[in-house]
Every structure is written in structure tokens, then in C-alpha cells.
Structure 1
Amino acid sequence: MQLTGHTILITGGTSGIGRALAEAFHQRGNRVIIAGRRRALLDEISATHPGICGLQVDMQNAASVASLAEEVRSLFPDLDVLVNNAGISREETWDGDVIDIDTSLSIIETNVLGVLRVTAALLPTLAKQPSATIITTTSGLAFVPRFNYPTYCASKAFLHSWLQSLRHQLRHKPIDVIELPPPYVQTELSGPQHLSDPAAMPLGDYIAEVVALLGEPTPDSGEILVERVKAQRMAERSGVYAQIYAKLNPA
């Protein structure tokens, strides 16, 4: 993938991996649009990085996603890169007397339905370009899950499977379909305490490695794997699934 000269939409672009990717792409001369729920953050990032455009969206609301897509099609008809990065992660307890199903459903709405809605709405625009790319953030937890984040892990496993099918269906079009499964990275995805967790990969290091890999030819698998996620991704193939699962899920 060429790293300059694109028009890029990044959902979930106001924090964590999405914001860091937006800043990295902007520094390389791309036109970057970030989409997020919090207007104040969108305005702050646009002011700090002149040229980045912020559009508001609620990924759990189908009408809001449709409105975002309509705005992008109108303002940026040359859109050629879609980064599906918006996602939420919440702990869940399924062994008690009361199950908080609303938390599970909100994760599915954002992490699964939001991605499908945005991609479906903008795929015709991407298909009009000489070449285009769809990048979707999944997770190393798609391959070896954590017991206390069951719906989050399952949502990322869904996306991994869906992306394989999408890639095959689009094989005759000039559209690359890339999966980006991060390891545990220092972001606020699962809470502010994770920003400084020494067990997590520093965000800057992760973005630097991702950008370097994106600049190389896309592998046939379509997966951009930093070194720290490879053990999880290859756990079953390497015969170490049980060991990694036990480490992530102590008895």
C-alpha cells in the first residue's frame, strides 16, 4: 500500500489506535477524515492537526451511520481508504443470577453491525477509485479469547471470518481488504488503567510497526501482523493454544 496521496476515513478516530493512525497518515500527506461520537474531541484533533476533518457519528445508531456515509460521499467522492477502527470493549459476567445483556448487545452493535453498515454504505464509492483499501481492526483476542471479555472477543472473531469472505468476493476488484489484529496495546479501550500497563505494547511502537508493514506489499492473507501478536494469531497452528489460553485466563 502506498502511504501518501490518499483520502482516508477512520472510524473511532478520536482516541487510541484510530487517533494514532489518523495522525500518522496525516503526517504523510494524506487527506484524513476521522469519525467519532464526541464532538469536543473531533474539534480538538482538527484544531491541533489542520487538515484533518472530524465528522460525528454514533456507531450504534443505523441512521447516524447512514448520515455519516452520505456526508462522506458528498464531501469526499475520492475516498479510497476506509479504516474500520471503531470498537468498544467491556467486561461481562455470565455466571451470576443477572446477565447484563445490554452490554453484550452494545458491543455487537458497534463492533460488528457498525463495521458492516459503514462498509456496505461506502463500498460503492471505494469501487469507483482506480484502487482502494479497506482496513479493519480486529484483535489478537479473536484467536485466543479472554474469559471476561466474551462478546468483545467473539465480535473480533466474527470480523476475522467476515473479512476473509469479503476479500474473496472482492478479488476481481482493485480493492485490498486488510485485517489489522493488534496485540494488547496501551490504550483506554478497556479502561484508563491500561494506558500505562507495562504488559501492553506502547501505542507509538505499535503504530510505527504497523505503518512500516503497510508500506510493504500486502501479504496474501491480508493480515498485518506485528511481532507481538504472532504467537496469538498462530497459537492453534503452532500447537500452543492451550498454553496461551491458560496464561490469558488463569484458573
Structure 2
Amino acid sequence: MKLQNNTILITGGTSGLGYEFASKLLTLGNTVIITGRNLAKLNEMREKLPGIHTFQSDVSDPEAIIQLYTDVTTQFPTLNMLINNAGEMRTISLNDPSTNLTDITREVEINLMGPIRMVQQFLPHLKKQSNAAILNVTSGIALMPFPISPIYGATKSGLRSYTKSLRVQLKNTGVKVFELVAPGSSTPLNDQFMNVDGFDPKMMMDPGKLIDTAIKGLENDNFEIYPGLAKMIKIMSRLAPAFLLKQAGKVGAKIMENEE
């Protein structure tokens, strides 16, 4: 895929992988639009990245997605690429009896329903463009359970399955469908694990290098992109899934074993 002179919309673009995507794609000569829930952070991004375009929007809100579509396609009718990056990851003990039945599925609304709704809303527009693409950011955890973050893992597995189906259904259109299977990286999403028992920060990949790999994958039409340790996780998930689960279960074991 050609990665110059595109108009690209990135959800969750104020930090982490979204910020790295925005910065690097802007440098390549693209028109880059980012979304986020926090207006102050969006304003900071405009100072950090001159030329960036921002919209305050929440991917967990269907009405906000409809409004975002209207605003973006009106102001940027050449929009031809959507990167579904917004996400939330929490440590959750399923043994906690105080867990709220609404709150427990918050990650489903953001990580899974958000991308599905974004694609459904923007797809008719993307089909009209040349060199169009959708990139869904999943995770190495889509290939294996991560017990300390059970809902996050379920959403990423679901998004991976959805992305594969989407690619099949769009094979006769001009819209390419990519998946970035992102390994753990040094971003705010993973900062919460720094002091968790069993967590090794040395396993985290530099986010800049991760996105460099993603961009090369997009340019080479690698529809499933596996940076860093994601390649190893892919292999191990087939050869030794029980071993992977055992190792993943050591992270935050004390949190997960809380008694009712």
C-alpha cells in the first residue's frame, strides 16, 4: 500500500501507538486526523504535531461515531484510511464480588464494539476511494489468554476474528484490511503493570520501533503484521499453548487470587 498523500483517521491518537502512528504518517506526507476523548490532550497534540487535525470523540458511543463520520467526511472528503487504535486495558479480578455488571464490559464497548461500529459507519465512504484501507490494532494477547486482563484479551481475540471475516467479505472491493498484532510496548496502556508481580518490563517493545514495523508491513501489503515478540507468540500459541497460558498466569497472580 502506498503511504504517501493519504487522508488517515486514527482513533485513540493522543498517546501510545496512536501518537506514534500519527507522528510517522504525518512525516510521510499524509493528512492525519486523530480522535480522543480528552480535549486537553487533543490540544497538546496540535502543539506537538503541527498540521495534525483533531476531533473529540468516544468510540464507545454510537451517536458520537455518527457525528464523527459527518464531520470528518464533510471536512476531509478524500479520507481513504481508517486505523482503529483506541483501546482500554484493565487488570480485573473476576473473584471480586463488587464487580459492577455494567462496568465489567466497558472494554467490550471500546475495544470491540468501537472498531466494528467505526468500520460499519465509514465503510461506504472508503469503498468510493482509491488506495483505501482499514487497519485494526489487536494484540499478542489475541493469540493467547492473559488472565489478569480477561476482558481485554476477549475483546482482542474477538477483534482478530472480526478482522479476518471483514477481509474475506471485502476481497472484491478496493478496501484492503490489515491487522496489527501488537506485542506489549512501553506505552501508557501498559504502565499499570510496572509494579505487578510477575511482570517483566524488559519484554516491552519500543513503540516507535513497533510502528516502524507496522508501516513497513502496510507498504508491503502484509495483511497480518507481527512486530517483535508477536511473531514468537504466534508460533508458541500453536506449539505450546498450555505453556504460554502458564507463563501468562504468573503475571498478577496475587491480584487474581483475591478471595470472595
- Per the normalisation by structure 1, the TM-score is 0.93
Structure 2 distance, partners of 1:30, 1:85, is 18
Structure 2 distance, partners of 1:211, 1:171, is 21
Report what 1:78 is aligned to: 78
Judge conservation of contact 1:90–1:103 (CA < 8 Å) in 2: no
Report what 2:140 is aligned to: 140
SS at match of 1:120: helix
TM alignment of 1:179-194, pairs within 5 A = 179-191=179-191, 194=194
Judge conservation of contact 1:18–1:85 (CA < 8 Å) in 2: yes
1:210 aligns with 2:226: no
Report what 1:122 is aligned to: 122
SS at match of 2:5: coil
Aligned residue pairs: how many? Answer: 247
Report what 1:226 is aligned to: 227
Structure 2 distance, partners of 1:33, 1:13, is 8
Deviations 1:86-124 (A, max 9, x none): 110111111233333333221111111111111111111
Deviations 1:223-245 (A, max 9, x none): 011132012123233x1212222
TM alignment of 1:11-160, pairs within 5 A = 11-160=11-160
SS at match of 1:198: helix
Q: Which amino acid in the other structure matches residue 176 of structure 1?
A: K
Q: Which amino acid in the other structure matches residue 188 of structure 1?
A: P
TM alignment of 1:1-20, pairs within 5 A = 1-20=1-20
Judge conservation of contact 1:78–1:125 (CA < 8 Å) in 2: no
Structure 2 distance, partners of 1:223, 1:178, is 6
Structure 2 distance, partners of 1:41, 1:97, is 35
Structure 2 distance, partners of 1:44, 1:22, is 13
Q: Which amino acid in the other structure matches residue 165 of structure 2?
A: S
Residue 76 of structure 1, CA deviation: 1.0
Residue 247 of structure 1, CA deviation: 1.3
SS at match of 2:188: coil
Specify every segment of 5 or more residues in structure 1 that has no aligned partner in the other structure, as ranges. none
Specify every segment of 5 or more residues in structure 2 that has no aligned partner in the other structure, as ranges. 195-199, 254-260
Deviations 1:144-171 (A, max 9, x none): 1111111100000001111111100100
Structure 1 distance, partners of 2:161, 2:213, is 24
Structure 2 distance, partners of 1:5, 1:190, is 32
Report what 1:177 is aligned to: 177
Report what 1:236 is aligned to: 237
Residue 130 of structure 1, CA deviation: 1.8
Say which is worse superposed, 95-104 or 163-172, in terms of deviation. 95-104
Judge conservation of contact 1:166–1:177 (CA < 8 Å) in 2: yes
Judge conservation of contact 2:237–2:244 (CA < 8 Å) in 1: no
Judge conservation of contact 2:210–2:228 (CA < 8 Å) in 1: no
Residue 193 of structure 1, CA deviation: 5.9
% same residue: 34
Structure 2 distance, partners of 1:61, 1:14, is 18
Where in structure 1 do 4 or more consecutive aligned residues deviate above 4 Å? none
Residue 174 of structure 1, CA deviation: 0.8
Report what 1:162 is aligned to: 162
SS at match of 2:13: coil
Q: Which amino acid in the other structure matches residue 225 of structure 2?
A: I
The alignment yields a C-alpha RMSD, in angstroms, of 1.8
- Per the normalisation by structure 2, the TM-score is 0.90
Structure 2 distance, partners of 1:146, 1:236, is 12
SS at match of 2:102: helix
Report what 1:199 is aligned to: 203
Structure 1 distance, partners of 2:100, 2:138, is 24
